[in-house]
């Protein structure tokens, strides 16, 4: 731990900056992963910005879960399970291949709580993507760290998803899809590709579908069903994990002329992810 930092809250205000030229190769890979029938355009689709500004930790600096060791930019939370809890995005103007973009990331808040299954730590990180002509995207990313599973803890019945969808699509996740998304985002987190690890060490029944991948699918659904309008704001929250063991559904319903609700439903009808989109 850094000498002048003793408490997790000392990491509030921690900041890092990256500069990158948006390249076409990831856009081509993204289009292939999404099974698009047309060649990728130079414009970054909603959620595609998560393929850029990626951490490149040396192999020797990876923890047992495949993430880089904490205590640099992110606080050294001493809890074994890490998940993407949700986020809020504002899209000011589109990113496109060839743009040189600066990403400024700042730890905005750190909150410790006691949950039903043990200790929880929530970390919110603000990201701003900027260029010479102004801001492209503003994002707040929520990360949750959890205790190891308690086999004796009571099982809580999950919240069920709403049943009034206007649009529904079925997604069949598989290890290849999860691997390709991990590759595009340089995500070494073993819960997405190492079945032995995720079952034996973290106690889950299967590989976990990435939270930002589900968020990307929900944004794509919203844009397509809202007649291709320009997405201005999107927020989403993860409630229950989705595994590669069964198909799940992405759903949506108009909530106004320029807005809609979207959500993902697990195979048992449980609410996995809930979101709102504004155009």
In a domain, 225, yes or no: yes
Q: CA angle, 91 as apex, 89 and 92 as ends, to 5°?
A: 140
Model pTM greater than 0.75?
Answer: yes
Q: Domain for residue 2, yes or no?
A: no
Any long-range contacts for 254-257 (C-beta under 8 Å, 24+ apart)?
254/166, 254/226
Q: How many domains does the chain have?
A: 1
**Closest by alpha carbon to 229, among 167, 166, 262, 278?**
278
Examine residue 191 and state whether it is found in any structural domain, yes or no. Answer: yes
Taking 80 as the threshold, does the pLDDT of residue 131 lie above it? yes
What CATH number does the domain containing 242 carry? Answer: 3.10.129.10
132 domain-assigned? yes
Instruction: Say how many C-beta atoms besides its own lie within 10 A of residue 66's C-beta.
Output: 17
For the chain, the residue count is 279
Does residue 145 lie within any of the structural domains? Answer: yes
Phi, then psi, of 55 in degrees rounded to 5: -65, 145
More confident residue, 71 or 263: 263
- Indicate whether 29 belongs to any domain: yes
Per-residue pLDDT at 114: 86
Residue 161 domain-assigned? yes
Element (H, E) at 254: strand 248-256
- CA–CA dist 186, 189 (Å, integer): 9
CB contact at 8 A, 116 and 61: no
Other CB atoms within a 10 A radius of the CB of residue 200 amount to 10
Q: State which H helix or E strand residue 182 sits in.
A: helix 175-184
* Cα–Cα distance for residue pair 243/178, rounded to 1 Å: 10
Domain that includes residue 46, residue range: 8-278
Residues 6+ apart with CB under 8 A from 6: none
C-alpha–C-alpha distance, residues 14 and 53, integer Å: 17
Domain membership of residue 3 (yes or no) is: no
- DSSP β-ladder status, 100-115 and 233-238: unpaired
pLDDT in tens, 216-250: 999 999 999 999 899 999 999 999 999 999 999 99
Question: What tens digit of pLDDT does each residue of 151-203 get?
Answer: 666 677 899 999 999 999 999 999 999 999 999 999 999 999 999 999 999 99
**DSSP 8-state assignment for residue 11:** G
Q: How confident is the model at residue 56 (pLDDT cuts 50, 70, 90)?
A: confident
């Amino acid at each position: 731990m850094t000498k002048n930092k003793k408490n997790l809250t000392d990491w509030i205000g921690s900041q890092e900056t990256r500069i990158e030229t948006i390249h076409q190769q990831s856009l081509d890979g993204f289009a292939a992963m999404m099974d698009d029938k047309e060649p990728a355009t130079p414009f970054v689709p909603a959620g595609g910005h998560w393929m850029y500004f990626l951490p490149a930790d040396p192999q020797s600096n990876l923890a047992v879960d495949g993430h880089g060791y904490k205590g640099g930019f992110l606080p050294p939370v001493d809890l074994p399970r890490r998940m993407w809890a949700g986020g809020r995005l504002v899209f000011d103007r589109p990113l496109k291949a060839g743009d040189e973009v600066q990403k400024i990331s700042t730890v905005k808040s750190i909150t410790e709580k006691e949950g039903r299954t043990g200790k929880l730590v929530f970390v919110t990180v603000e990201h701003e993507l900027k260029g010479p002509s102004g801001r492209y995207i503003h994002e707040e990313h929520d990360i949750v760290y959890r205790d190891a599973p308690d086999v004796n803890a009571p099982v809580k019945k999950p919240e069920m998803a709403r049943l009034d969808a206007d649009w529904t699509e079925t997604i069949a996740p598989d290890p290849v899809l999860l691997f390709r998304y991990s590759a595009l985002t340089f995500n070494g987190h073993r819960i997405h590709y190492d079945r032995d690890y995720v079952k034996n060490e973290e106690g889950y029944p299967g590989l976990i579908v990435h939270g930002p991948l589900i968020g990307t699918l929900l944004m794509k659904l919203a844009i397509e069903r809202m007649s291709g309008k320009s997405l201005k704001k999107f927020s989403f929250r993860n409630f229950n994990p989705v595994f590669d063991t069964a198909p799940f559904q992405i759903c949506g319903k108009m909530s106004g002329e320029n807005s809609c609700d979207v959500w993902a439903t697990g195979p048992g009808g449980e609410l996995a992810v809930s979101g709102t989109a504004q155009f």
